[in-house]
Amino acid sequence: MVRGARQPQQPRSRLAPRLTGTVEKPPRKRRSSIRGSGDSSHSQSQGERYQHFTEKTEFALKEIMSSGGAEDDIPQGERKTVTDFCYLLDKSKQLFNGLRDLPQYGQKQWQSYFGRTFDVYTKLWKFQQQHRQVLDNRYGLKRWQIGEIASKIGQLYYHYYLRTSETSYLNEAFSFYSAIRQRSYYSQVNKEDRPELVVKKLRYYARFIVVCLLLNKMDVVKDLVKELSDEIEDYTHRFNTEDQVEWNLVLQEVAAFIEADPVMVLNDDNTIVITSNRLAETGAPLLEQGMIVGQLSLADALIIGNCNNQVKFSELTVDMFRMLQALEREPMNLASQMNKPGMQESADKPTRRENPHKYLLYKPTFSQLYTFLAASFKELPANSVLLIYLSATGVFPTGRSDSEGPYDFGGVLTNSNRDIINGDAIHKRNQSHKEMHCLHPGDLYPFTRKPLFIIVDSSNSVAYKNFTNLFGQPLVCLLSPTAYPKALQDQSQRGSLFTLFLNNPLMAFLFVSGLSSMRRGLWEKCQEYLRKINRDIAQLLTHSRSIDQAFLQFFGDEFLRLLLTRFIFCSATMRMHKIFRETRNYPESYPQLPRDETVENPHLQKHILELASILDVRNVFFENTIDDY
């Protein structure tokens, strides 16, 4: 489960520090500083700890340095160097291990602790660089130990990304992970008869793969998977361990994750083009002069996944991964931005808006989900929106009910009873009681006191069609089809078609058109035409006389604007497609969109047919769609 808190501020200008320099620490607010606190008890404990390490190091020196001559001949300066290193190393480990005890939610609790941890790792990394020769000779510092320090710094940056949703920190993590590989810091681990060291190396590979996946560095991922496979084979052959099955499962999961996209974009030499689906500068349709929309901005998002049969890696399903990227901007090289002519004067000013903060929740229990919801709701700034994305199995009502309340239509299952102790007893109980971990529409009613944007991708998404807006705040629900044509059902393991439309509408359009590959030139031509379609959809929405104002309230935010235009494109495409003939094959929304002005608008239908003509797949769509209903 990914944990997070709202981003405090923009990252510093120098991006992607190299291992030849000091660690570039993420920004901290002043209150998070631990220097000059004036806490005498704190200073005393630090002094006592340092004295403890002096005594401990004296003993270690006798053990480690005896081979170089008499222990008394060691210069006092070198003794102090080893003592200081041991102290920093132990302190860094204590702080790093303490990160897991921090609250998984909330903004204020984690910032100070992260700042202290970065301070220590900055000092530790710089110290081992400056005193490498002494540490090699007197302490016996090994390359894998340097690699461990660098790996911890990479983990800090990755977790800072999870806490802030600032994609630039992924580049920071990649920088350190990549340097570990390039400098072969773990190369000597296999020569030591210590399986726990090999596991450190394997975990490093798994973490590096996650960062590369998030950065869409698929070429690097494939190389890492091959290297990891070789390492696992050697590890299991040498030590005959019990975790062989688990590591092989890691390989299978990442291999399936790489192959999840149903369409390949190819260069002229048949190499695969890596496409990114994060928000680019020209991604969302611009608001034209005269468009009257709200001023709300997306600040928080909960991305929830519980699809048992769906491809996943590191508690991140394909659907969660795609929605995660749909809610982020392209990583930005701040160093190059600041070095552009004319940028020096405004170096302290943000050059763009922040990403919305996200929680990624894989199979959360109801109590966990409600805790995170409450935390996001509490910290939501004024004039901001909370987005909830649900990709989960549907829970349907059992039997008929005399009432039709918010708990009588079922919902979605956020946790598949992963902690069942007595499965039979729970199954029998569920015959007469509602599922404990089912999220019903009524469960979200308290959070409609603030602007709420809900996306439900489930076989029972229509349960949220019966929503009631009790507090008059902007509220929109985008609901997936509850079933797909049989020809497409076999692809569910590779992710939902509905979410694919929201993440990469052109790839989804190609998939439903029966195409599995495309040349780069044609892809780019279609992308440009799709941008034109999005602009026209934006005009249809803002010029509509009968559309619910909630849609327009959200339309001022770039991310929500893009999701809404893609939703309408998805709905219009499915309604025109020849194999999508049942009502349950179509997306729906709350409030309902005026069909004749949006999803069944003749102008939009003409655009879709023209896009199909470019791809030479016009035959899979109805020509006179409205007449065919």
Q: What is the pLDDT of residue 51?
A: 59
| Statement to judge: residues 221 and 93 lie in one domain | yes
Rounded-to-integer distance, Cα 49 and Cα 43, Å? 10
Kindly report whether the peptide bond that precedes residue 591 is cis, defined as omega within 30 degrees of 0.
yes
Range(s) of the domain holding residue 564: 297-330+354-396+405-416+435-620
Q: Report the candidate in 318, 382, 328 with the shortest Cα–Cα distance to residue 357.
A: 328
| Statement to judge: residues 168 and 309 lie in one domain | no
Greatest pairwise CA separation for the chain in angstroms: 97
| Statement to judge: residues 245 and 326 lie in one domain | no
In-domain check, residue 602? yes
Q: Report the candidate in 505, 504, 507, 453 with the shortest Cα–Cα distance to residue 479.
A: 453
| Statement to judge: residues 382 and 308 lie in one domain | yes
**307 Cβ contact partners less than 8 Å away, ≥ 6 residues apart:** 317, 319, 391, 392, 393, 492, 496
To the question of pTM greater than 0.75 for the whole model, the response is yes
Distances 294 to 283, 361, 448, 615 between C-alpha atoms, Å: 20, 29, 17, 37
Long-range contacts of 199-202 (CB under 8 A, 24+ apart): 199/235, 199/243, 200/144, 200/148, 200/151, 201/144, 201/231, 202/228, 202/231, 202/232, 202/235, 202/247
Query: Residue 590: beta bridge partners?
Result: 477
Distances 380 to 301, 375, 376, 452, 455 between C-alpha atoms, Å: 10, 9, 6, 11, 18
**Chain center to CA of 542:** 31
Query: Residue 456: beta bridge partners?
Result: 390, 479
In-domain check, residue 45? no
Q: What is the pLDDT of residue 596?
A: 92
In-domain check, residue 188? yes
Tally of domains in the chain? 2
What does the block give as tokens for 299?
């600040």
| Statement to judge: residues 221 and 323 lie in one domain | no
Which residue, 217, 243, 263, sits at the end of a domain?
263
In-domain check, residue 321? yes
Residue with tokens 């704190």: 42
Chain segment 446-498, per-residue pLDDT in tens: 999 999 999 999 999 999 998 888 999 999 999 999 999 988 866 788 999 99
In-domain check, residue 428? no
Distances 575 to 491, 507, 535, 537 between C-alpha atoms, Å: 20, 18, 20, 16
CATH number for the domain spanning 172: value is 1.20.190
Q: Report the candidate in 577, 569, 580, 578 with the shortest Cα–Cα distance to residue 603.
A: 569
Chain segment 592-620, per-residue pLDDT in tens: 999 999 999 999 999 999 999 999 999 99
In-domain check, residue 281? no
| Statement to judge: residues 215 and 305 lie in one domain | no
Strands (E), 417-510: 438-439, 452-457, 475-479
| Statement to judge: residues 441 and 522 lie in one domain | yes
Which residue, 263, 280, 305, sits at the end of a domain?
263
CATH number for the domain spanning 533: value is 3.40.50
| Statement to judge: residues 321 and 440 lie in one domain | yes
**Residues of the chain scoring pLDDT < 70:** 1-72, 107-108, 288-292, 332-353, 399-403, 417-433, 489-490, 624-629
| Statement to judge: residues 239 and 308 lie in one domain | no
| Statement to judge: residues 258 and 316 lie in one domain | no
Rounded-to-integer distance, Cα 198 and Cα 192, Å? 9
| Statement to judge: residues 130 and 224 lie in one domain | yes
User: Residue 291: how many CA atoms within 13 Å on its side-chain side?
Assistant: 23
**96 Cβ contact partners less than 8 Å away, ≥ 6 residues apart:** 117, 121, 152, 155, 156
| Statement to judge: residues 249 and 375 lie in one domain | no
Rounded-to-integer distance, Cα 242 and Cα 240, Å? 7
Rounded-to-integer distance, Cα 26 and Cα 12, Å? 7
In-domain check, residue 506? yes
In-domain check, residue 288? no
Which residue, 218, 241, 263, sits at the end of a domain?
263
- For residues 381 and 309, the answer to whether their CB atoms sit within 8 Å is no
